[in-house]
Amino acid sequence: MDARADGLLEGPPHDGTEMSETAAANTRVGAFRRLYNWVLRNAEGPHAYAVLALVAFIEASFFPIIPDIVMAPMVIADRARWVRIAVFCTLFSVIGGAFGYAIGSIFYDSVGHWLVTTMGVAAQVDSLRLKFAHNPWVILVFGLFLPFKLVSISSGIAKVPFALFILFTSMTRTVRFFAVGGLLYLFGVPVKTFLERWLEYVLIAILLAVVAAFVIFRFSLA
């Protein structure tokens, strides 16, 4: 008797395509995914807030990492906390903006000039300085989409009154992060599903969008 013909040795049915997709998903453990998974695991504890505070601070003063990347998994993990997370992110972004302002107003000759030259944005910072010196209110607009270190350092160089800078910074960053948090609150579940499947591609797309926006901004001020 042919045991195979009788089905006695037949293994469980499987779909080769499905198995390959699952294997690919399970092996997708790049740096960005590990960061995403780490923040998601620690979203109930103090670690995610510490990372969010750090990223919000440095992005607003000297480093090109957007805090939205950290906000997203935190809000998705517990959407009821989206307001608290948005407030926390805004607070440390404003504090980081104050540090960036100090780089432009106090430490420009020693640190600020080297920083903007190294980043290749000296001409753009100078153009922003002229705009902010004559119309400080445009901080409200540029603060929504530009890397905020450009806004904060340029404001310091332009000698925008510090109290006015803090007011405008608080307003524009509140709008930015509450918009992001609100969208994540409304569409958290599908966003989480999408991110878990396509995280690397989403981050690459965000990076390319930021670079493209920066290039467009750079040439528009040239």
Could you tell me if residue 22 is inside a domain? no
State the Cα–Cα distance between residues 53 and 56, nearest whole angstrom: 5
Q: What string of H, E and C letters represents the secondary structure of 115-152? A: HHHHHCCHHHHHHHHHHHHHCHHHHHHHHHHCCHHHHH
Could you tell me if residue 15 is inside a domain? no
State the Cα–Cα distance between residues 52 and 56, nearest whole angstrom: 6
pLDDT digits (tens, 9 = 90+) for 75-104: 888 888 999 999 999 999 999 999 999 999
Range of weakest confidence among 17-21, 158-162, 177-181, 208-212: 17-21
Number of domains in the chain: 1
State the Cα–Cα distance between residues 12 and 14, nearest whole angstrom: 6
Domain that holds residue 121: 29-220
Could you tell me if residue 3 is inside a domain? no
**Mean pLDDT comparison of 46-50, 60-64, 126-130, 178-182, highest-scoring range:** 178-182
Could you tell me if residue 91 is inside a domain? yes
Contacts of 120 (CB under 8 A, 6+ apart): none
State the Cα–Cα distance between residues 222 and 217, nearest whole angstrom: 9
Could you tell me if residue 16 is inside a domain? no
